Structure 1
Amino acid sequence: MKSRLHAHVGTIRQLEILLSVHDKGSIKEAAKALFLTQPTVSIQMKKLAEAMGAPLYNYTNRQILFTDIGLELVKTAVEVLDSFTRLDMAIGNIKGFKSGTLRLAVVTTSKYFIPHLLGPFLEKYPDIDIQLNIGNRQQTIERLKQGIDDFYVFSHPPSDIETQSIEFLTNPLVAIAHEDHPIAKKQNLTLKDLSKEPFIMREKGSGTRYAIEEFLKHHNTKLNVKMTIESNEAIKHLVMSKLGISILSAHTLMYGGQSGLVRLPIKELPINAHWFFVWSKSKRQTLLAAEFLDHIETNGRSLLQKEMISNDILSR
């Protein structure tokens, strides 16, 4: 007997609203992203829950937590909307041009270079849409598990999920301080010198923190962590305010500005990490996604490598 569940899962628009609520984590932010009122989003989510006969999410400490049924519906919504994307692209290709939507989920530090990668691609295919989600490592892993996006950018891809990936770019992690900080005046610095200073660390779940912790384990060293911050920009401003030193990706300095900051010549640094483009083995790749993958392996990679060389991040 054929399932009649499709008669209850709601309209396409409701599925779009569902995904926005899931991705944004709140009714307010979903409404803002969709240019709808909060009551409209709430009503549509209520109708969808009634159609499913079960709650799609609950509120815990003012946060939306999706139920198992809600998460299954999110997966289905991704598949349904993705089928329309493929249809749009197929029609576009028949007409002789590329169209459709490219979905990317990237960890926060990679947000500095991703726009430089997308720019030339959008110039080549001006009729496509880009959906870019920026989160920490754990948030991006959750999206990967649910197969929401075409590609994911990590410095340390998860090893417990069936994926394919390409190593895309070097990601050197460097020590930084304010140019007037006493340590900035010293030469021949070592990790031991770094461990004596107040240190500002990224939050748990971030790729930068993961890389630093693995590096410290290898060198059997501990840092004098005084603050834990969820933002690269906030860390840079704290360092500029002479409240401590930190280790960040060189990309945060290259693209995000470094007024008043200097890179410390620590003997054991940089931490030589890499950026990876990752995609799910179980998700069928669209024509647009395949085109973008070719772009990042050729023009995109060479473009960013040249920029890194010109900024003395890579050797010539």
Structure 2
Amino acid sequence: MPKAANYNLARRISIRQLQVFDTVSRLRSFTRAAEELYLSQPTVSMQIKKLESDIGLPLIEQVAKKLSLTEAGKALQAAAHDILETLGRFEMEVEDQKGLRTGQLHLAVVSTANYFAPRLLGQFRHQYPGIKVTLEVTNREHILERMLRNSDDIYLIGKPPESSELEFQPYLPNPMVVVVPVDHKLAKRKSVSLQEIADEPFIIREQGSGTRIAVEHKFASAGLELNIGMELGNNESIKQGITGGLGIAVLSLHTLTSGDMNELTVLDVEGFPISWQWFIGHPRSKRLSIAAKTFIDFMYEEGPLLLPENVIDSALVDMSMMKIKGVGE
């Protein structure tokens, strides 16, 4: 029987160390790597120092606050990527052999989907209790970054980018509506023109948000300039800002609850709602686990049933206005 090769490093280096190094080298940041791995920054730094000590060569250099890899670091990055990818494929094969009794599912969604995605995951976990699930909620720009880094299994996003490396399929409609305080001067008007609201101060999401992209495109297409009064990083803060009289906003219809409609109302604006849609995506080259494939099927079967049922009362908004046209029309 042939003797096993004597690889000294294999006795000293752990898979966890390789995972930490791979994340740091990919993000070029100890802080961001710590956030992605749910570790403290000192723990990440300690793992890298231990790795450099075990190998006997520096792996990372820091010049003018920028991290770069040494030649040894570049070689280790390639090796770590191959090892972790091979281990990931093995893990999926094991999960497939076990069926859906065990496994992991990592889902990342845009913030507008946060109003139903947790309930969807809850229903899925109830049906498949052996599957461990994680949910990351962020904006469109960060979702795309995570996709390129292959950080998760499945992504839910609006308006997918054109990319040969990413694969998307249409999911549920996500209409965008103009929201104002119930006592706004235009609240009871019908067929308000876009020009009439152009001078209103808008509370808008941060750069990189899909909602912001949709709003800016709507105004630019009409030859109008968007009057940005304030930027806020989440939909709940925007709703509070509208209630407080700081401005009006365009929000996903699915972010509005019946409770919100005590103080807010949807304005009947020509050209609204904006026809928007969610898409399910993943890297084209990614081999989906059986848990991920099953969850995608589950999304199509159960997702429409879990959308907020009492978002807009017909007494508040003419539901004919809420008819959503197909994307691309």
Whether TM exceeds 0.5 here: the answer is yes
Structure 2 counterpart of 1:79, which letter?
E
In the superposition, relative to structure 1, how do residues 198 and 28 fare at CA in structure 2: closer, same or farther (>3 Å)?
closer
Is the CA contact 1:175–1:264 (under 8 Å) kept in the aligned structure 2? Answer: yes
Q: CA deviation at 1:40?
A: 3.1
Which of 57, 60, 72 pairs up with 1:55? Answer: 60
Matching of residue 83 in structure 1 with residue 104 in structure 2:
no
Q: Determine the structure 2 residue equivalent to 1:224.
A: 227
Residue type of the alignment partner of 1:120:
Q
What CA deviation, in whole Å up to 9, does each residue of 1:211-258 have, x standing for no partner?
Answer: 112222222222211112222222111111101001011111149945
Give the greater-gyration-radius structure (CA).
2
Equivalent residue in structure 2 for 1:45, among 45, 48, 53:
48
Say if 1:78 and 1:148, in contact at 8 Å, map to a contact too: no
In the alignment, is the contact (CA less than 8 A) between 1:168 and 1:277 conserved in 2?
Answer: yes
**Residues 79-108 of structure 1, C-alpha deviation per residue, up to 9 Å, x if partnerless?**
255335414413522xxx432111112222
Contact 2:253/2:311, CA 8 A, preserved across alignment: no
Alignment of 1:239-278 (within 5 A): 239-254=242-257, 257-278=260-281
Deviates more, 1:102-111 or 1:45-54: 45-54
What are the Cα deviations for residues 31-89 of structure 1, in whole angstroms up to 9, with x where unaligned? 8975x6653333113334554842288895xxx97869598688557625533541441
> Which of these residues, 99, 102, 121, is aligned with residue 99 of structure 1?
102
Task: Let me know the Cα RMSD of the aligned residues.
Answer: 3.8
Equivalent pairs, count: 305
- Of the structure 1 ranges 36-45 and 175-184, higher mean CA displacement relative to structure 2 is found in 36-45
Structure 2 residue 318 is matched with structure 1 residue 303: no
Return the alpha-carbon distance in structure 2 between the equivalents of residues 111 and 19 of structure 1.
Answer: 29
Counterpart residue number, 1:211: 214
Superposed displacement of residue 148, structure 1: 2.1
Does structure 2 retain, via aligned residues, the 8 Å contact 1:172–1:272?
yes
* Greater alpha carbon shift after TM alignment, 40-49 vs 222-231: 40-49
Flag the 1:205–1:72 CA change in 2: closer, same or farther, 3 A: farther
C-alpha deviation, 1:265, in angstroms: 1.0
The partner residue of 2:17 within 11, 14, 38 is 14
Percent identity over the alignment is: 34
Deviation per CA, 1:115-174: give whole Å up to 9, x if none.
122122111101111122222211111111122221111111111242222211001011
Native 8 Å contact 1:88 1:99 kept in 2? no
Find the aligned partners of 2:167 and 2:36 in 1 and give their Cα distance: 34
> Are residues 66 and 87 of structure 1, via their aligned partners in 2, closer, same or farther at CA, if it must alter by over 3 Å?
farther
* Aligned: 1:181 with 2:184: yes
Task: Say if 2:194 is the partner of 1:196.
Answer: no
2:327 alignment partner in structure 1: none
Q: Does the CA-based 8 Å contact 1:309-1:315 persist in structure 2? A: no
**8 Å Cα contact 2:254-2:308 kept in structure 1:** no
Take 1:5 and 1:109, find their aligned partners in 2: how far apart are those partners?
Answer: 50
Q: TM-score, normalised by structure 1?
A: 0.80
